[in-house]
Amino acid sequence: MAYRVEYDGEVIEFAALDAALDCARNAIVNDLGRIDGWAVDHDEELNDWYVRGVRNGRRIGPTAVVSGPRARPAVFEEWERRVVFIGETPADAFAMAAAWLEKRPDITTLGDVGWHHTADGHQLRVYFQP
């Protein structure tokens, strides 16, 4: 099992995921300098990790992609769409989501709900299947 790191046109392979993620972070720091933290999103379908630096609460700079081994899933479930609501307070974000869903009676199934506090406000992500 090899993990492949792609950043700025370069590709490096590692045997372990931790080493690949460390390489991605180091490449970003070497490129951008000071970083306050990391945003790492995992695409379970592709088994890829998307790594970005965070400074002052915002994602900055290019994305490093860490590709994991590809496997054929026995069960495949796809949530195709996502909508994001950003409010000044958590109640604002939830109220926007409720109003949006009320206008769409065709959406009967939610896949997941994600919550993030960002520099722009309180962010509510709703994943749904049309």
What are the structural domain ranges in the chain? 3-67, 76-129
Buried b (16+ CB within 10 A) or exposed e, 50-67: bbbbbeeeebeeebbbbb
Using DSSP, state whether 11 is helix, strand or coil. Answer: strand
Predicted TM-score (pTM) of this structure: 0.54
pLDDT band for 27, please (50, 70, 90 cuts).
very high
C-beta separation of 92 from 128 below 8 A: no
Mean pLDDT of 4-26: 91
Q: Is 57 left (phi over 0), alpha (psi -120 to 50) or beta?
A: left
* The pLDDT of residue 113: 86
pLDDT band for 110, please (50, 70, 90 cuts).
confident
Q: Which of 20-24, 28-32, 42-46 shows the lowest mean pLDDT across its residues?
A: 42-46
| pLDDT higher than threshold 80 for residue 28 | yes
112 burial via Cβ count (<10 Å: 0-12, 13-18, 19+): exposed
More confident residue, 76 or 8: 8
Q: DSSP code of 56?
A: T
* The pLDDT of residue 64: 94
Mean pLDDT of 30-42: 92
Q: What would you measure as the largest C-alpha separation in the chain, in angstroms?
A: 49
